[in-house]
Structure formats: structure tokens, C-alpha cells
Amino acid sequence: MMTAMLFAQVANSQTDPSTGVFIIATVVKMVVIFTIYMVGVAYSTFAERRVSAWIQDRHGPNRVGPQGLLQVAADGIKNIMKEETYPGYASQALFILAPGLAFIPAFITWAVIPFGSPLPTPWGRIDLVVADLPVGFLFTLAISSVGVYGIVLAGWASNNKYALLGGLRASAQMISYEIAMGMSTVCVLLLSGNVSLNQVIAQQSQMGWNALLLSVAAFIFLISAFAETNRVPFDLPEAESELIAGYHTEYSAMKFSMFPISEYANMITASAMMATLFFGGWDIPFTQWDNTGPFTVLKSLATFAMFSSKVLFFVFFYIWIRWTLPRFRYDQLMSLGWKILLPISLGYVVVVASTVLALDYAGVTRGPMFGAVLFGINIVLMGLLLFVADRGRLVSPAYSRLDKRNVDKLRAASVGRSTLPRPVEKGA
Amino acid sequence: MTIKVKVLDRPIEQVSYVRATVKGLALTFKHMVDPHKVTVQYPDERWDISPRWRGTHRMLTTEDGKAKCVACGLCPTVCPANCIKLVPGEDEQGNRYPLVFEIDEFRCIFCGYCQEVCPEEAIHVGRHYENAEYSRDSFVYDLQRLTEQTHPVCEMWDPADQKGE
């Protein structure tokens, strides 16, 4: 909006490039992003191992290269060299297809995530996003839902009951949390009035980050993102204590490795979505320097660094959570998704929509004032949510507090009764 | 009949998932930044092993470099794993010495009975544990190999000094 007007006024390096330049620039961006992303995925596996080790008072892999930094290369070579096994009676075609199906959607999402302010070049202004789709946000939702096919197909094609159970769990879990996730992002779209991710970022740079304006939505999105990426505490599809390794039980070598890679890829993508939708994307907080033209290379680099640090923080947060929390039980997972997150997110959409409507009606322009009002309402709601969640009724009936009358009833019923059956007396 | 589940009426601070999560995150973060790690970087650094450690065997020698063993046959007799092979010999002066003395380190259970029973304090279990080999045959230590070992030997448990101080 404001930025768009500025673009129109400035010189050659700030205007839209010609078609030829656009195509070349897009190809270059694809290659660069793919490379950075692949390296990022590889190193997030390494980071997971190091951080988990530190949390458990160990050192982690620190032998291959300085600080163990070449460990990922060693792992990659090992996985490629290993023997591939195919289970008998497996559906071969789908068995081979499934890792790819899990792997590719995680990468495609990155096409629409903006990772820096526009870069001026002698051939025109290049947007730092591979494809600035007008429907960017809807695209990410659609593609992230496709990712579950890989897992379900892997579980089904393996001809193994544990793999199948893992695949079924994955599909049930993803469908459940997809809804809460979609609902929580509706609030973001209400504020930005657009589904283009660049517009979402522009809105946040004007009003303040959505994490402050829409904390409840951010909270729900965060939880749902954990469930969507099958990370602990929602890693039921591969719960090794119940399902061996879940959907990838029958996989070996590089095909197995594709599943962890896609998990980490999903994790980075979810972190990037979290950063873009709720933490301002590439916006640098407390300054408008980065949002206004004329754009320079320095601004591009600074915003890219900002975006990367946000993404890396969330990747770290994922890892941190994984080594802190135990896994949910299956009924707890379903109850959290359907009975808690979905109603809260639905109610929150209503609250945010009414607030936005009321503020627009009262003639408040979309800017810092608008944000401040939302922030105020949001603090109250967040406090309320945490208070209610803290009353011990959060997830499961087995951990919930009974009211006084029921406790008395239970105690009365259990008086004088052993929980074990009495032994049969001989000769009686 | 329905299953009756007793639910304890716990105080809120014990059942709150939110507080438990925050507390857990704080704890794991504290451990993450804590520079003290429990791992021993094995090939670079090692733990001190106990003076009573019973590891790889060692045959002590007299001043002229011969094994102290007099081939009395007590150690193969007492050995519960039956891992000592001893063929006694006798020289012109009537001194007994081992013609063959072999210990199969694979069969050995490192109980230390051989050291305890030895009247000449010849065979010992040692304070040493890194005895990897490329073949199974190499784990049968002959007399020459046993006498060539240089690691310190085990100090056996002493009833007068039960804690080994």
C-alpha cells in the first residue's frame, strides 16, 4: 500500500524488472533458496542432536569436523550407502513414492514465503520471495495439507500393522489440527485484509506484530504447528514405545532418511510461517527504516538476517520443547484438538471480527491506535485463557479435578473395598 | 459394568499443564546452558579406575626376567571359567616351570581367584581394560604376552581395609 506508492516514485533500480529479468531472477532465487533450505534442514538435524545432548548434560556429536559440523555430511553419505530393503507384499510403487510425497510439499511451501525486503539491482527491483502469489497464504495451507499423503501412503504401502496405525494416526491428527490452525490464521487475514504474505508483513509493520495483537491465535497456531509437523509432544504417528517407528518402520537407508528430512523441512517451514504470520516476517521491530523505500542491498541483508533469526529461534523452540515435554496420549491429543483448540479459535475469530468491525465503524484508522486497542483486548483474553487452562481441566479427564461431591462419592464407594479380587480360600 | 476410575483430588499446582510446561522448559534450558557436562571424552580423557580393578592379566617375573610361576596348578583348578591352560615342566635342578601357560581372555570372567590363590604372587589381574583385537585367536594370551604386560596390577580386597583406603 504505502510501500507500493513509494515503489512507483523511485528510479530504475526500484522499479519492476522486465519479464526476461524476472524469469532469470526467479530461477536464481529458486536455486539459492533450495540450497539454503537444504543446508538448513541438514543442520537442523545436527542442531537437534547437539541441543538434545546439551539439555541432557552430554556433548552430542562433536567429532566430525570442528564442533562436529561435518557430521551431517557423514550422516548423508552413510544413509546413501546403506542397503535398501523392501518388505514382501508391500505395494512397491507407493512404497517408493511415499518418501517423495512427504518430502516435496515441505519444500514447495517456501516458494511463497517472503524472506527479505525487495532487493534493488541494475535490472530492476527484485522481490525477495520466489513466487509472490496473490493467494500466498491459501497456497501454504493447501500444500501443508498435502504433506500428510506421504505419511499415510508410507504407512499403508508398507504392509505392516504398526506402519498402518502410524499412518492412520498421522491423518487423524493432521485433519484435527488443520482446522484449529486454519481458524487461528483467519484472524490474521481479518487484520491484513489480504491473503498475500507480503501484505500480511506490511500490515504487521504498521500495526505491530500479530503475536501481540492476536496472541491467542498465535498460541493456537504454535500448538497446531507442533501437531502438523508430528513433533513431540504430538509425535504419535511414530510413537516408538507403541508403534516401533510408526509409518517409517519398514523404511531403510535414504528412503528412511527422507522422512526425518521432511520432518525437519516441515519444522523450518512451520517456523517460517509462524515468523511471517505472527512475528512480522522480515520486519525489523521498533523502526520503519526497513519498510520504506528507497530499498538498498543493506536493507535486504538486514531484513533477511532478521527473518533468519526469527526462523532459527522457532526451530530452536521446537527442539527445546521436544526435549522437555512427554508425548500426549491419543485421547488427550484428540480432546485437545477438538474440544479445546477448535472452540477457542472459533470464538476468537468472532471476538476479533467484532472488534475489527467496531473499530472500523468508530472510524479508527488501521495503524498503531488500532493495534493498541486490539492489544488491550488481547491481554485480557490471553490472561483469561491461561487462567482457565491452568485450572487443571486442560486436556484429559484422567487428570482433571472432580468437583467436591464426586470426590466424596468416589471415596464413599471405595471404602472397605480392596482393588484386587480376594484370593479363593482352599477348602471353603 | 462400568470401569470405576478413582481420580485423586490433587491441588491445582500439581495438575496444571501450563505451569508444568513452563517449569520444564526452564529446567531444560538451565541444563542446556550449564557448561558442566557429564560425558567423559573417552579416548582423550579417562576415568581413574579403582586400585581393585580386575582387568587384563599380567604375569610377574623374577629379576632375571623369568615368570614367577612354579606351575603348581592351583589357578587352573580354582578358575571357575576354566580359561587357564597350564602344562607344567621341570628343569635339571627339579624346579617346576610352566611349559605352556595360556589364558583365554574371552572365557575369563575376571573374578581374580587366580591372583588370590597364587602362592608365588605370579599371575595377577591388572588395572587395564583396553584389550581389543582383530581376531578371536588373539585373545588367548600366552606366557610371553602375559609377562610383557606392563600395566599396574590389582590390589585385592583386604578384609582389614574394606573400603580400599
Residue B68 sits in a domain whose CATH number is: 3.30.70.3270
Q: Do B6 and A58 touch (CB under 8 A)?
A: no
CB A154 within 8 Å of CB A251: yes
d(CA A152, CA A146): 10
Q: How far is CA A106 from CA A94, A141, A217, in A?
A: 19, 11, 23
Show the domain range for A219. 2-283+298-391
Q: Does A391 touch chain B (CB under 8 A)?
A: yes
Phi, psi of B39 (to 5 degrees): -65, 135
Judge whether B41 is closer than 8 Å to chain A, CB to CB: yes
* Phi, psi torsion values for B141, nearest 5 degrees: -90, 125
Residue of higher predicted confidence among A409 and A423: A409
| Mean pLDDT across A234-244 | 79
The phi, psi pair for B100, rounded to 5°, reads -125, 130
Q: Is A417 contained in some domain?
A: no
Tell me how far apart the alpha carbons of residues A51 and A40 are, in angstroms, rounded to a whole number: 15
Contact A51 B10 (CB under 8 A): no
Top pLDDT among A291 and A218 is at A218
Is A384 a domain residue? Answer: yes
3-state SS class at A78? helix
Closest partner residue to A410 (CB to CB) among B6, B17, B31 is B6
| pLDDT tens track, chain B, 165 positions | 566 655 566 666 666 777 888 889 999 999 988 888 888 888 888 888 888 888 899 999 888 888 888 888 899 999 999 999 999 998 888 888 899 999 998 899 999 899 999 988 899 998 888 888 899 989 999 898 898 888 888 888 777 777 766
Does the residue A290 lie in any domain? Answer: no
| β-pair partners for B55 | B126
The per-residue pLDDT for A5 is: 45
Say what the pLDDT of residue A428 is: 44
CA-based nearest distance B20→chain A, Å: 9
Q: Within the 26-55 window of chain A, which residues sit less than 8 Å (CB to CB) from chain B?
A: 51, 54-55
**CA–CA distance, A29 with B20 (Å, rounded to integer):** 44
Smallest CA–CA distance from B15 into chain A, residue: A392
pLDDT score of A8: 44
A78 in reach of chain B (CB within 8 A): no
Q: Which grid cell sits at A82?
A: 546403506
Domain presence at residue A428: no
Q: Please indicate, yes or no, if residue A410 is contained in any of the structural domains.
A: no
CA separation, residue A346 to residues A138, A186, A333, A386 (Å) = 18, 9, 18, 17
Output the pLDDT for position A142. 84
Cα dihedral: B13, B18, B19, B23 (round 10):
140
Taking the Cβ of residue A386 and every Cβ of chain B, the question of whether any pair is shorter than 8 Å is answered with: yes
What is the reported pLDDT for B26? 92
Domain total for chain B? 1
Residue B128 main-chain phi, psi, to 5 deg: -160, 140
User: Which residues are within 8 A (CB) of A418 and not within 5 positions of it... i.e. 6 or more apart?
Assistant: none
Total domain count for chain A? 1
Please judge whether A55 and B28 are an interchain contact, meaning their C-beta atoms are less than 8 angstroms apart: yes
Residue A181 distance to chain B (closest CA, Å): 20
Neighbours of B36 (CB within 10 A): 6
Q: Could B9 and A402 be called an inter-chain contact, meaning their C-beta atoms sit closer than 8 Å?
A: yes
- Whether A402 and B32 lie within 8 Å, measured CB to CB: no
Average pLDDT, chain A: 81
* Contact between chains at A58 and B4 (C-beta distance less than 8 A): no
Residues of A whose CB is below 8 A from B33: 54
Chain A residues lying within 8 Å of B25, measured CB to CB: 320-321, 324
pLDDT tens digits, residue range A168-184?
A: 888 888 888 888 888 88
Chain A interface mutation, best of B8, B27, B32, B36, highest count of A Cβ atoms under 10 Å = B32
Domain assignment present for residue B27? The answer is no
Residue A427 lies in a domain: no
| Cα B76 from Cα B103, distance rounded (Å) | 10
Domain annotation covers residue B32 = no
Domain presence at residue B24: no
Cis, peptide link before residue B80, omega less than 30° from 0 = no
Instruction: Tell me how close the Cα of B31 comes to any Cα of chain A, in angstroms.
Output: 5
Q: Which domain holds residue B114?
A: 55-148
Question: Kind and range of the H or E element at B92?
Answer: none
Is B7 within 8 Å of A325 when comparing Cβ atoms?
A: no
Closest CA to A186 of A353, A359, A413: A353
- Name the pTM for this structure: 0.78
Give a yes or no: residue B45 inside a domain. Answer: no
Q: Are A373 and A355 in contact (CB under 8 A)?
A: yes
Q: Write out residues 11-40 of B within 8 Å (CB-CB) of A.
A: 12, 15-19, 21, 24-25, 27-29, 31-34, 36-39
A76: left (phi over 0), alpha (psi -120 to 50) or beta: alpha
B12 with A390: Cβ contact below 8 A: yes
C-alpha count within 13 angstroms, C-beta hemisphere, residue B137: 0
DSSP conformational letter for A235: -
Q: Where are the alpha helices (DSSP H) in A82-121?
A: 92-108
Please report residues of B whose CB lies closer than 8 A to that of A389.
16-18
CB contact under 8 A, A323 and B24: no
Mean of the pLDDT values across residues A198-203?
A: 82
- With beta carbons under 8 A apart, name residues in chain A contacting B37: 54, 57-59
Nearest CA in chain B to A387: B18
Mutation target among A56, A316, A419 for the B interface, most CBs of B within 10 A? A56
Q: Which of B4, B10, B32 sits opposite A54 (nearest CB)?
A: B32
Establish if A103 belongs to a structural domain: yes
Contact A14, A293 (CB under 8 A): yes
Query: What's the CA gap between B156 and A57, in Å, rounded?
Result: 35
A-B contacts (CB, under 8 Å)? 73
What is the distance between the alpha carbons of residues A205 and A299, in angstroms, rounded to a whole number?
15
Compute how many other C-beta atoms are within 10 angstroms of the C-beta atom of residue A94.
14
Of all residues in chain A, what percent carry a pLDDT higher than 70? 87
Q: By C-alpha distance, which of A83, A211, A204, A105 is closest to A149?
A: A105
